[in-house]
Amino acid sequence: MHTHTCGCDNDEEKVATVCGYPISIFFIVVNEFCERFSYYGMRAVLVLYFKYFLRWDDDFATTIYHTFVALCYLTPILGAIVADSWLGKFKTIVYLSIVYAVGQVILAVSAIHDITDANKDGTPDNMSFHIALSMVGLILIALGTGGIKPCVAAFGGDQFQDHQEKQRSTFFSIFYLSINAGSLLSTVITPILRGQECGIHTKQKCYPLAFGVPAALMVVALIVFIVGSRMYNKTAPQGNIMVKVCKCIGFAVKNRFKHRAPQYPKRDHWMDWAEEKYDKLLIAQVKMVLKVLFLYIPLPMFWALFDQQGSRWTLQATTMDGDFGLLVIQPDQMQTVNPILILILVPIVDSVLYPLISKCKLNFTPLRRMTVGMFLAALAFVAAALVQIQIDKTLPTFPSSTVGQAKFINMLNNPLPIKAGSNGFTLNAFKANEDYLTFDKPFELQLGVRDTYHTTIQNGTRNTIVIIQNGPHLEPKAFSDITAKPEQGANAMRFLNGFASALNVTVGNQDFGLIVTNNMSDYVAVPQGDAQFKIRNNAQECVYSQKLGFGSSFTIIIPSTFAFGSIQSVVDIRPNTIHMAWMIPQYFLITAGEVVFSVTGLEFSYSQAPSNMKSVLQAGWLLTVAVGNIIVLIVAEAATLSDQWAEYILFASLLVLVCIIFAVMAYFYTYIDPTKVEAQFAQNKPEEKKRKSLEMACKDSFKHDKEDRRSSDSSSDEEEAKQTKI
């Protein structure tokens, strides 16, 4: 064992320090920063990758997202057992970091659409290949990030000696600061990277870059950690306390089942049935842990709501306006509101709110704080539902499978009376009717006073019917319209050419192609902002400008009297009008809930757990996060709610119900001091040892059966070790 100090004992190696800290911890801090940047950066854009690249619907994208997060919080238990029982922390971190980095690289490769885009149309030809690669990458990432999660912080703590308690405490503060810094920076940067255009043959949103940078950071994290290898204090595996606790519980259950007959006397607690094999102190410690774990049962519901910030709330933001003036916010960047609010609220709550409540003589116990945190999270989802209701009012109503929709554009240089079925109206020159009309069967279309047509609108479609002059008669020409709101905040634009010659229209590096007279171009996706459309024929060129929002669609009419300023714009789909700023209240509520729930929950768990079983409760706490994400995917698949706001209300209602149950459980909970309990056992231990010695002597004298001797030996191995010391 290589024990490093700063020169206290002669038999210990001296090691260089910086400001009293071992140099090795700086490698660990940098490693953690890079790893958290890698994880949170990848996760920030993940649900949008599922929706827009893999083309999954919102429900399935949400399900896979939360399945991945759940797996990330299940694997820490595996990582802790492997590190403490077999490989040790250092090797576990290295091996699983390699798995982690490989997973990130595979995920980045899976997002390159050109790999299978043989026809160069911008759409992968073999989506199954990309899905398979994505799933392999995510499984490896979950194994890696979860497996090293319980090891890195503890490994950093191993670098300090007993006389460096102050430095160790400061290290943990710096360590968690690096976690928050990595997650905050990555949730700002990776959405920006995703918003870039990249590709070999066609330009697409740059998911390979958004995943590639986190992959590079994970490789850097691994290299940095390995570089510091010679400086680390590497403790050998000493057995995992979680395994010991599980064995103790398993033996108690098994022994109780064996002695379930009425003739066996009852014991005060079911864990007391483990006394035949395990020390009473260990049993008492397990009881304390189980008491806290019982309180954990309702907690997953909080995480079920909390982790939807990365799924449902991000998808909600895609239907909103992200224009903040000088700053344009991408939907996945709204997740940065949470870490920013944490940095603001934690000191306010600790330094102002809690002391104020204390001065008011209110007994705001940890469990009551957690109850309030759960209630605040439920309120956050009520706020999200209210926002969703307003969003739904602005979303277009697309035709069902039993009806069709149509809009009419008058390309004549004079007003035109139109009668379509039972609908009658007059369109001015180069104008369109404001809203789509719905038709469920063929209808008679009368243009002016003499031109009549029998028209059929195909069910499930949207159409624009353009009225043009064809010799002495009027003629309707039908064009198919977009039937889905433009994705990723883009705007679907097209041009209708009523001019006498063919025109070419470009915007940036995108080309609408050559548009012949009385014809319509295809839709082209144009980003938010001031769009400059260059319109030209062989003789002249002009520029048409239009400010675009998020998620709109327009048909731009170039009239026969084409002159600068005469171009008309027809709305096919209105832009997002509900601003993303309306999401701030729900983010504030859920972050406030996190501050009083999560931070308090960890503090409470540590205060109520034995000193040698903090890791067991840490594993239990992470398990509640995993179960919470499993709840989300179950509800997303099982619930048949057509409205998203109704699903938000469902989650809020479930959490309120769970909150009431938790409040009742908290009311009957009795706080304990584990150190006092352990001290009592320490005082009673000499008497207990003498008593056990006499019992064993009696057993050896009066029991000669081989099976009984084996039973006596196996149930008192630990006690024999103690007797040797007496």
DSSP letter for each residue of 90-115:
HHHHHHHHHHHHHHHHHHHHHT-GGG
Pairing of strands 404-410, 462-470: parallel
Distance CA 97, CA 151 (A): 11
721 SS3 class = helix
Model pLDDT, residue 439: 93
Question: What pLDDT was estimated at residue 204?
Answer: 85
- Strands, E, within 498-611: which ranges? 503-507, 510-515, 519-520, 524-526, 529-536, 541-548, 553-558, 568-573
Domain ranges of the chain: 16-239, 279-394+578-685, 404-573
**Architecture of the CATH domain 16-239:** Up-down Bundle (1.20)
Cβ burial, residue 434 (10 Å; 0-12/13-18/19+): exposed
Q: Please state, in angstroms and as integers, the Cα–Cα distance from residue 91 to each residue in 44, 82, 83, 234, following that order.
A: 29, 10, 8, 9
Report the candidate in 241, 94, 69 with the shortest Cα–Cα distance to residue 622: 69
Count other C-beta atoms under 10 Å from residue 694's C-beta.
10
The yes or no reply on domain 279-394+578-685 and CATH 1.20.1250.20 is yes
DSSP state letters, 172-224: HHHHHHHHHHHHHHHHHHHHHHHTSEE-SSS-EE-HHHHHHHHHHHHHHHHHH
User: Quick one: CA torsion of 562, 567, 572, 578, rounded to 10 degrees?
Assistant: 170
What is the mean pLDDT of each successive set of 10 residues along the chain, which is 726 residues long? 41 60 89 94 95 92 94 91 87 95 97 89 89 97 92 85 78 81 91 89 89 96 93 83 88 90 87 89 88 92 95 93 87 90 88 90 89 97 97 92 94 93 92 92 89 90 93 91 88 93 91 93 92 88 91 93 76 93 96 90 80 78 92 81 92 96 92 82 62 53 45 38 29
CB 181 within 8 A of CB 41: no
Asked if domains 16-239 and 279-394+578-685 share a fold, the reply is yes
Alpha-carbon torsion 687, 688, 690, 694, what sign?
positive
Q: Which of 492, 562, 506, 508 is nearest to 534 (CA)?
A: 506
Q: How many residues does the chain have?
A: 726
Place of tokens 């319980």: 150
